[in-house]
Copies of this chain bind each other. A is one copy, B any other.
Amino acid sequence: MSATLSSVAAYAGVSTSTASRALSGHPAVLPSTRARVEAAAAALQYQPNRMASALRTRRSGLIGLVVNNLRNATFHTIAETLQNWGAGQGYQVLVCTTGGDPAREAAFLHTARTHHFDGLVVAGSGANTDLVNTLVTDGRAVVTMNREVPGSLAPSVMSDYRTSARLATEHLLALGHERIGVVEGRADVTSGRLSDAGFRDAMRAAGVPVSPQLVACGPFVVDFGQQAAAALLRLPEPPTALLVTNHEASLGVLQVIAATKVPVPERLSVVCTEDEPAWAWWTPQITTVDNRADLLAERAAAVLLAQLVGAESAYPVSREELVEPALVERASTAPPA
């Protein structure tokens, strides 16, 4: 059975209305009282319900989610997980895709502000720091995800890209691979930079030198994956294993592998990152590092909810939470021939 607001009030030794005001951040509550109520809520694992949320003023019941696209399994898993959560909490989570365009993202954030959205989850372009911060200082609940927004005041929940690439590389090294090719995103994007660092961490720890001609770095598009894979497979001494940390490029890499009929895993081991259903349908099934998009969304929801019920303010506390990825071994990786 879940705790009610009145059980929290009784535990803290205050009235229900004081408990409500304390949890909703009302300024007339003494800091010592607020602390006592928050401690009681934490001790009883109080889950604020729709009514408690509705006590806040100017509540629209709307939460916005910005994603770059809905094709990528990470983004649609985040969208569905947050919408399921919102349905349980009495919020409508409204999704906006932007094609990664900062101007379209800005237009949506502006709409969310003028329509009094209660909260925003931004898994977008990484731009629009000023708009994100305006929403934070407005008192809206805000959390950023997936891509860093430099200078943002909002807490963030991020996939641990560095660990993801490290786990994948360690897996290939443990199988005996040394000529490991990598297809990765650009260094000016958080995930590109951190994935590269994780790959190099593992190679360095194993004492295996990185061959620059085996590192293909480019944009987050299918075409780049095709070009990179074709170039790597044409090398006089091609890699015995391939790590793809750029999710969109993975689709291009797999198309080239299918077209050239290079035997996987006999001649080439392949690891993709960010799990998505298609990896498990491929023949052979593709080993992956799952970024746990469902868990990313659950953590973002928890961070958002803490702000929505006034248990904590996003501002001026900027925190980053990393979600641990998980290696999923399937049939596309094996020791080198």
Q: Name the interface residues of A31-76: CB closer than 8 Å to any CB of B.
A: 60-62, 64, 69-71, 73, 76
Q: Copy number of this protein in the oligomer?
A: 2
Tally of A interface residues using CB under 8 Å: 37
Contacts of A108 in B (CB 8 A): 92
Q: Does A96 contact B (CB under 8 A)?
A: yes
A292 to B76, CA, bound (A): 20
Report whether A80 and B97 are in contact in the complex, using a CB–CB cutoff of 8 Å.
yes
Q: Does A318 contact B (CB under 8 A)?
A: no
Report whether A94 and B96 are in contact in the complex, using a CB–CB cutoff of 8 Å.
yes
Identify which of A138-146, A206-214, A250-258 touches chain B. Answer: A250-258
A183 to B96, CA, bound (A): 34
Report whether A83 and B96 are in contact in the complex, using a CB–CB cutoff of 8 Å.
yes
Determine the residue in chain B with the shortest Cβ distance to A280. Answer: B255
Q: Does A278 contact B (CB under 8 A)?
A: yes
Contacts of A94 in B (CB 8 A): 64, 94-96
Contacts of A277 in B (CB 8 A): 71, 251, 278
Report whether B70 and A76 are in contact in the complex, using a CB–CB cutoff of 8 Å.
yes
Q: Does A115 contact B (CB under 8 A)?
A: yes
A87 to B73, CA, bound (A): 23
Q: Quick one: CB contact mask for A90-123 with B, threshold 8 Å, 1 for yes?
A: 0011111111010010011001000100000000
Report whether A111 and B62 are in contact in the complex, using a CB–CB cutoff of 8 Å.
yes
Q: Name the contact of A254 in the complex, choosing from B111, B254, B281 (C-beta under 8 A).
A: B281
A164 to B336, CA, bound (A): 46
Determine the residue in chain B with the shortest Cβ distance to A72. Answer: B76
Q: Does A127 contact B (CB under 8 A)?
A: no
A115 to B255, CA, bound (A): 45
Contacts of A76 in B (CB 8 A): 70-71, 76
A280 to chain B, nearest CB (A): 8
A108 to B115, CA, bound (A): 16
A96 to B84, CA, bound (A): 10
Chain A residues in contact with chain B, CB under 8 A?
A: 60-62, 64, 69-71, 73, 76, 79-80, 83-84, 87, 92-99, 101, 104, 107-108, 111, 115, 251, 254-255, 258, 277-278, 281-283
Q: Which 3 A-B pairs have the closest CB atoms?
A: A94-B94, A70-B76, A95-B95
Q: List 17 A-B contacts (CB under 8 A).
A: A60-B115, A61-B111, A62-B111, A69-B80, A83-B97, A84-B99, A87-B101, A92-B96, A92-B107, A92-B111, A94-B96, A95-B97, A115-B115, A251-B277, A255-B281, A258-B281, A278-B278
